Structure 1
Amino acid sequence: MLSSNETSSCINTGDTTWVLISSILVLSMMPALAFFEAGLLKSINTVSLVTQIIGGTSILSVMWHLIGYTLVFGHTYAGVIGSFSNILMLDVPYDDCSRHSPNIPAALFGFFEMMFAAISPLLITGAFAERLCYKAFILFIIGWELFIYYPVAHWIWGDGWLNKNFEVQDFAGGIVIHTTSGVSALICGVILGQRKDFDKYNGEFPPSNLPLAALGGALLWTSWFGFNAGSALQSGALAVSTVVTTQRAAVTSGVVWLIISWIRHKPSATAVLNGVIAGLAGITPASGYIDPQYGAVIGVILGFASYLSIFLFKHKLRIDDALDVSSVHGITGIVGSLAIGFFGQKSFNEDGRDGLFFGSHSPYLLGVQAMAVVVTGSWSAIITIILLKLIDKSVGLKVSFDDEIGLDEGEHGEQAYEWRNSIIEPQITEQQIHSIIRGSVSHHIQQEQRRLSLIAPPTMTNPSLNRRINVVHQTSKLEETL
């Protein structure tokens, strides 16, 4: 280790500062995701979502420190998975760089990548929300991380076969994160089945707290700049172009969703929130490889693709993906990953390649991207099916208590909102109803009498005041009757 006043010559302090900030921004996506999902789902399942996401973040972060980093970025075993050379993150220096992070400390790179590993399976909570029991949830995210995220991340971002043999491009996780989680979300929706009243609401359940969802969506939007631009691992021109590309795709996709919702019925807050998230997710893989001008074009495509896919999955196939993760993240992740094959420009990233529209107009990159999407999507689907079947046989998948109680009470014994207590109290008696009415009437009479006492005595020339006094007298008789 170097002394406290020394740094390795490879470390750039500006780049290090930017990646530190980006890491913290990505960490804030965890509570943002909890707020976003809780606001769009039933209030009686709020605690469940918070516990799943915050508890899941903690578990997945511990896993990353124990074995995750080394399985993803360790030296490869036949291009399939990393070695155990950095188990417990041993020999990962804080004062020197690595082959994966040439300008920042290797430990910071590991910390930044931990955030991606933590949030990836948590995106699927929006698909199986309000149905999966907590034991099954814990087993699922652990299995998903071990058998889907770690291998796929190694294949594309580590020394794996898709990277070394084909140079598959995924700047910030369109394939590694959004394609895999989106495919898994669709499988979860199929296997877990529909929630109660799915047909009543045609799959579009009313949100319980739109301001909370908007707060979560705004935090996700802000954090996404660290998610995408932080993946540049530097604070220069590449980070700037990535930020601009990300914003253009997000807002154009949001406008598409807003217009469609307005044409169908009325301009919807839920729609524009989902539209922005769809644009953010979809531009993730391409954000560091394309001209920002094309970010807007891709954003329009992402908006239409994600919105229309909901009609296919939810309204035609009747799959209950609660918050449309398969469309907002999965379809957009696939579209954005393929978009690199068309719009990629080596001039914006020396590690990239020219797509079909640039350079020699070669279709090679498009073919490679399509192959990677098919391989990783298929792998994610197969492993998800196996995981759900095994968990169902061991601890069961779905909750078994009354839907009206909710996961908060049934699974965690806690409530998000105190007013829920009034719902589970015994039915109010007739005597209590009369008592409440008498109290309200008495309070009204007392207020009127105090008000009238401040006004001059009634006269024949003040009929309005006389009428008010008569009303008070009549109300007093009503109180005596009660």
Structure 2
Amino acid sequence: MVNITYDDSGDLNWFDPDSGEVVVYNLGDIAWVISAMALVWIMIPGVGFFYSGLLRRKNALSMIFLSVAVLAVVSFQWFFWGFSLAFSETGSAYIGDLKYFALKGVLERPSIGSTRIPSILFCIYQLMFAAITPMLAVGAFAEHARVAPILVFVFAWSTLVYDPIACWTWNSNGWSFVLGGLDFAGGTPVHISSGTAALAISVYLGRRRGYGTERLAYKPHNTSYVVLGTVFLWFGWFGFNGGSALSANLRAVQACIVTNLAASVGGLTWMFWDWRLERKWSAVGFCSGAIAGLVAITPGSGFVGTPAAVAYGFLAGTFCNFATQLKFIFGYDDCLDIFASHAIGGVIGNILTALFAQRSVAGFDGFTVIPGGWFDHHWIQLGYQLADSTAGFSYSFVMTSIILWIMHFIPGLRLRCSEETEVLGVDDAELGEFAYDYVGLDAELGAHLPHSGTGPGGIGADVPALGAVGGGREPQHTHSHVQLGNRDSSSESGEKAS
């Protein structure tokens, strides 16, 4: 029986047999962090819907599926050893040990994150951060990677990349934490690590079929999904940043205020930058800017005042917008602009936190004490933030590349899919299911297949259907000679004509 009682106010009391003291857990704090945990959970399928809407429809389901599959893989990894590697108190400055292997001993004791909540609550809250981070990076696999190896990659990446960076950032033994780095909710562990991993994945996989041609110059197939995913992310980010206070207090409220403001300014800024080019008010542009603003404010959300959120949103909406052109300059195929939005946005957020962090804002919770940033004349804070950002950036890129190339030479774990899968679509080739219905394939693969009232390939069909030949979003209405299986459309037409 757990040694738990309730006092007259209804708060949870735990008697520590080692120290002889009573630890008090306020039920309001517990309730808020449980709610924040659920809010961050909804962000994970939100990423899936956001990514899905930006892709071609023949790959739409794969990203939604991966969002929940990645959550499942990381949930097991976190139980198995992830939480211990990140947050065991007896670990090193780089990575934890296996003190909490299989969550042994993780229950009612005060958490390493805050003595105001029990360890088991901190564990499941941090699980959501651990799960959304690889999902952000997995978007770089879109449209040209195999599903099963992706899930193996996620387990390995969470262990070798996310857990060490989370340890050095948030564990009380971590080198960046001890140095004095400020990262309230995951600028480096979540965004820089995932964005840089996406860059490494893009470089490793190479370009998709048709890169540089009109076949890949497509617009998002479902803008409603893009908006829906943004709504889930924006909604959940209140738990992401506000919940990181680990208590229902004024600091949590302040984090929510700056989160909403940075997202709003970021969305408007990106939208206006896009308007100057096409004179169109882009919903996708607004959503991209809102997420850039959310990414940037993440590390500083518990340290900066409300006016600073305007600067976070504007600078993130500007720099992340222009950073989307880097893929054309350097020739890598990051189809969802993950590096531009998350890695660049995370670096911007870390740097701005060095400038705008205030000890008075951190003290909104009544007990946190920091030297502050440049607003408090603590000039060295910029050096700390740059060191943390550079370490996270370089470590994630190098280690992700190592994981990818090791898997490359293990039979069955090579990540790049075949050209046939790219043409057919990952949904059909890997999942055997579709985001919408079978009609979507008519436009993609109906070219030169016998067509009847029952659709392409129907019994008794004798009319060749026209459709896309090589994976473009729109059908290519040509009569080119294309071999599909054992049928040649040109010879078949000739036989019928004769």
> Same fold by TM-score, threshold 0.5 exceeded?
yes
Number of the residue aligned with 1:340: 353
Listed as ranges, the gaps of 5+ residues in structure 1 are: 435-482
Look at both structures and tell me which one has the larger radius of gyration over its CA atoms: 1
Please report how far the alpha carbon of residue 77 of structure 1 lies from its aligned counterpart in structure 2 after TM superposition.
3.5
1:101-135 deviation digits (Å, cap 9, x = unpaired)? 21122211111000001111110122221111113
Check conservation: 1:250, 1:277, Cα contact below 8 A: yes
Distance 2:308 2:371 in 1: 14
Structure 2 match to 1:404: 423
SS in 1 for 2:450: coil
Q: Which runs of 5+ in 2 are unaligned?
A: 14-22, 454-459, 464-498
The aligned counterpart of 1:61 is 75
Task: Please point out which of 164, 168, 172 is paired with 2:181.
Answer: 168
SS in 2 for 1:82: coil
- SS in structure 2 of the partner of residue 374 of structure 1: helix
Name the CA distance, whole Å, in 2 between partners of 1:433 and 1:393: 46
Residue 440 of structure 2 is aligned to residue 420 of structure 1: yes
Q: Offset of 1:88 from its aligned partner?
A: 1.3
Partner of residue 50, structure 2: 36
Give the aligned partner of residue 378 of structure 1.
394
Whether the 8 Å contact between 1:302 and 1:335 is mirrored in structure 2 is yes
Aligned to 2:208: 195
2: CA distance between counterparts of 1:275 and 1:244?
Answer: 17
Match of 2:96 among 73, 79, 82: 82
Q: Tell me the CA shift for residue 13 of structure 1.
A: 1.2
CA distance in 2, matches of 1:35, 1:52: 10
Distance 2:303 2:104 in 1: 33
Residue 142 of structure 1, CA deviation: 1.3
Alpha-carbon distance in structure 1 between the residues aligned to 2:389 and 2:303: 17
Alignment of 1:6-45 (within 5 A): 7-8=12-13, 9-45=23-59
**Conserved? CA contact 1:281–1:329, under 8 Å:** yes
Q: Counterparts in 2 of 1:13-412, with a 5 A limit? A: 13-94=27-108, 96-201=109-214, 205-265=218-278, 266-311=280-325, 313-350=326-363, 351=368, 353-359=370-376, 361-394=377-410, 395-402=413-420, 403-412=422-431
Alpha carbons 1:169, 1:352 under 8 Å: kept = no
Structure 1 position 259, deviation (Å): 0.4
Distance in 2 separating the partners of 1:201 and 1:279: 31
- 2:450·2:461 contact (CA, 8 Å) conserved in 1? no
What SS is found at the alignment partner of 2:212?
coil
Identical-pair percentage: 31
Output the CA distance in 1 between the equivalents of 2:401 and 2:217: 25
CA displacement at 1:76 relative to structure 2:
3.5
Q: Output the CA distance in 1 between the equivalents of 2:461 and 2:203.
A: 48
Instruction: Identify the range of structure 1 (193-202 vs 264-273) with the bigger mean alpha-carbon deviation.
Output: 193-202
Shift of 1:203: 6.3
Report the Cα distance in structure 2 between the residues aligned to 1:103 and 1:185, rounded to whole angstroms. 36
8 Å Cα contact 1:126/1:325 also seen in 2: yes
Whether the 8 Å contact between 1:56 and 1:138 is mirrored in structure 2 is yes
Equivalent-residue separation in structure 2 for 1:80 and 1:202 (angstroms): 45
What is the TM-score normalised by the length of structure 1?
0.85
The size of the alignment, in residue pairs, is 431
Indicate the residue corresponding to 1:447 in structure 2. none
Determine the C-alpha separation between the residues in 2 that align with 1:401 and 1:190. 18
Partner amino acid, structure 2, of 1:112: Y
Give the whole-Å Cα distance in 2 for the aligned partners of 1:276 and 1:347.
27
Q: Which has the higher helix share?
A: 1
Deviation, structure 1 residue 297: 1.2
The 10-residue stretch of structure 1 (85-94 or 384-393) with the greater mean CA deviation from structure 2? 85-94
One-letter amino acid matched to 2:375: F
Q: Deviations over 1:167-201 (max 9, x none)?
A: 21110000111011111111111221122233125
Query: Does the 8 Å contact 2:209/2:419 carry over to 1?
Result: no
Amino acid at match of 2:195: G
Name the TM-score, length of structure 2 as normaliser: 0.82
